[in-house]
Structure formats: C-alpha cells, structure tokens
C-alpha cells in the first residue's frame, strides 16, 4: 500500500513538474514575455552535422573518441565474461552466452543451419558495435564533457563516417560471401546475358518465333542484372542514411525536448532513444544477414 502511495506521489510530482518547467523554461519565457528561471534556462540545441575536433591541431574527432570508448566497453565486458569460464555459467558469462545463443538462433532461423557459422561473426559484431555506440552515447554526461568549448564525446553513430564505414564493410562482405559460395557464377547475378545468347542462337538457326521470345526474355534478364547491380550500390546509401539519420534525429529531438520542457518529458524520449538504438542495431545486422543469405542463395 505504501508502495502504491509512493508511486502516486511520484506521478503527481512528475505531472506537476513538467508544466512548471515548461513555463519557467526558455520557450515558456518567450511566450509569457518574462525572464526564464535560471535552473530551467537551457541553451538552444546546437546542431553540428560534422564531427568536431576537441584537440586543436590533432585530427582526432569527438566521435572517434566515442568509438574508442564503446570498443573498450565491449572488449572489457567480453574479457571479463570469458575470463574464468565454467561449465555451468553464472553472472556475466551467462549473459554473454545467452546473447550469443540468441544471435545464433536468429541466424539459424533466417539463413539455415549450414550458413550459421558463415554469418555469425560479422552479424553479431555489427549488432554489438551499433548497439554499444548508441547506448554509450546515452550515458548521462556523455555530451556534456567539454574541452575548450567543443564536446569531448559524441554519439559515434551521428558521424556519417561511422555508418558509411559499417555499410561498406557489410556490402563488401556480402559480395565476398556470394563469390565464395558460388565462385565466378555469382557474377551472373549482375551480368546475365546467357538467355540473350540462346535467343540469338535460335534466331540464327531459323526458329524465328522461339528466337524472338528468347531475345526478349534475354533483354529483360540482362536489364534485371543491371537493376540488381544498382540495388546493391544503393544499399550502401540506404544503410548509411538510415543509421545516421535515425541517430542524428534522436540526438536533435532529445535536445529540442530538453530545450522546450526541461523536466520529465525528455525522459520519455530518452527511453525511446534506447529503444531506437536497439532497433537500428537489429536492422543493420539483420539486413546484412538477409542480403548475405540472398547472395549465397542467389538463383542462377
């Protein structure tokens, strides 16, 4: 009962704090025409698309430092989890095994038992890297650390170079998987002129009707090959912009919400950001898996 009461009190206080902070904040002050209260006076979010360099003269950007942080977090977690391995796992080792098993099950579901080993390392790595970048960026105080005016750390996914690099890695690996599984025959996905040749062959032999049909379908399938090539190239773009856009939009959205209503309401968006980080990590790794499977299974 006391727990229920405490919950009610917390909700009431939260509901009361939100409008108070809105009226006292910068936007509310603009509407009422008074000075904003100093505790609610949040500076306007400052949108910077390119990563900034906190150290003057050194070509080290703040997103690079954030990447190092997330890599060290991942390495530390996995080192600690696999240090003293036991047959019956407990604690961190258990969590890591659960994660790996879940990923393995997911990949087996999508691509089948025989392809699981092929896709597992890269897919799980991309998932963990994107997730770590997103969630490390949510730690309170992450963006507030400043060195001579420029933030020392910034969510690495909001620098377009990181998503672009991941997209390139993903696409190049997909093509490698395709070539390894099918050898030179994988090229047929892009340059499909076999049917066209057959059609011309028939045409020369005097079978006009079958020949014309063959030539027609040959042209169509050659065109489909070109489309396939284009779609493989545009994947890089869509991969990059999906991750970059979602993360940048999240950063700006949270900043704007803190600017408008400094208390309570930003928590909602903070939670949404945590969810979006997970969803984007899932999508990036899942699409790599699906494209890889399509390349391995490409019909001839």
Q: With H, G, I as helix, E, B as strand and everything else as coil, classify residue 50.
A: coil
Query: What six digits make up the tokens of 210?
Result: 């079958």
Q: Does 294 bind other proteins (CB under 8 A)?
A: no
Query: How far lies 298's CA from each of 187, 214, 239, 280, 286, in Å?
Result: 10, 22, 21, 26, 18
The least CB distance from residue 101 to other proteins, in Å, is 16
Q: How many amino acids of this chain bind other proteins (CB under 8 A)?
A: 16
Among 190, 217, 241, 259, binds other proteins (CB under 8 A): 241
Q: Does 231 bind other proteins (CB under 8 A)?
A: no
Q: Is the dihedral of CA 39, 43, 44, 46 positive or negative?
A: negative
Question: Which is nearer to other proteins, 186 or 239 (by Cβ)?
Answer: 239
CA dist., res. 96 & res. 127, Å (int): 14
Q: With H, G, I as helix, E, B as strand and everything else as coil, classify residue 277.
A: helix
Q: Does 15 bind other proteins (CB under 8 A)?
A: no
Among residues 249, 91, 235, which one has the least CA distance to residue 166?
235
Among 164, 286, 294, 298, binds other proteins (CB under 8 A): 286
Q: Does 127 bind other proteins (CB under 8 A)?
A: no
Segment 34 to 73, residues that bind other proteins, using CB under 8 A: 47, 49
Q: Does 238 bind other proteins (CB under 8 A)?
A: yes
Segment near other proteins (CB under 8 A); pick from 61-69, 136-144, 213-221, 275-283: 275-283
Cβ contacts of 195 within 8 Å, gap of 6 or more = 214, 217, 218, 221, 222
The answer to whether 21 and 40 have CB atoms below 8 angstroms apart is yes
Q: Does 213 bind other proteins (CB under 8 A)?
A: no
Among 40, 120, 177, 244, binds other proteins (CB under 8 A): 244
List of residues contacting other proteins (CB under 8 A) = 47, 49, 238, 241-242, 244-246, 248-249, 252, 279-280, 282-283, 286
């Amino acid at each position: 009962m006391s727990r229920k009461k405490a919950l009610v009190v917390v909700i009431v206080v939260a509901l009361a704090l939100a409008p108070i902070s809105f009226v006292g904040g910068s936007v509310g002050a603009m509407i009422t025409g008074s000075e904003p209260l100093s505790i609610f006076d949040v500076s306007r979010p400052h949108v910077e698309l390119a990563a900034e360099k906190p150290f003057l003269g050194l070509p080290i950007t703040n997103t690079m430092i954030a990447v190092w942080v997330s890599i060290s977090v991942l390495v530390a977690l996995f080192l600690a989890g696999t240090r003293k391995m036991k047959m019956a796992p407990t604690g961190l080792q258990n969590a890591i095994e659960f994660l790996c098993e879940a990923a393995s099950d997911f990949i087996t579901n999508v691509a089948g038992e025989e392809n699981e080993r092929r896709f597992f390392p890269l897919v799980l790595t991309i998932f963990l890297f994107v997730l770590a970048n997103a969630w490390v960026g949510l730690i309170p105080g992450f963006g507030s650390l400043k060195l001579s005016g420029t933030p020392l750390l910034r969510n690495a996914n909001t620098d377009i170079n990181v998503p672009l690099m991941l997209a390139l890695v993903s696409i190049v690996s997909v093509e490698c998987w395709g070539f390894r599984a099918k050898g030179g025959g994988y090229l047929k996905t892009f340059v499909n002129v076999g049917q066209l040749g057959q059609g011309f062959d028939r045409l020369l032999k005097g079978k006009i009707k079958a020949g014309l049909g063959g030539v027609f379908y040959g042209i169509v399938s050659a065109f489909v090959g070109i489309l396939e090539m284009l779609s493989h190239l545009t994947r890089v773009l869509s991969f990059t912009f999906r991750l970059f856009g979602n993360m940048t939009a999240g950063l700006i959205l949270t900043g704007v919400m803190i600017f408008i209503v400094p208390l309570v309401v930003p928590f909602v968006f903070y939670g949404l950001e945590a969810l979006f980080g997970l969803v984007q990590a899932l999508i990036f790794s899942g699409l790599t898996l699906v494209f890889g499977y399509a390349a391995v299974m490409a019909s001839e």
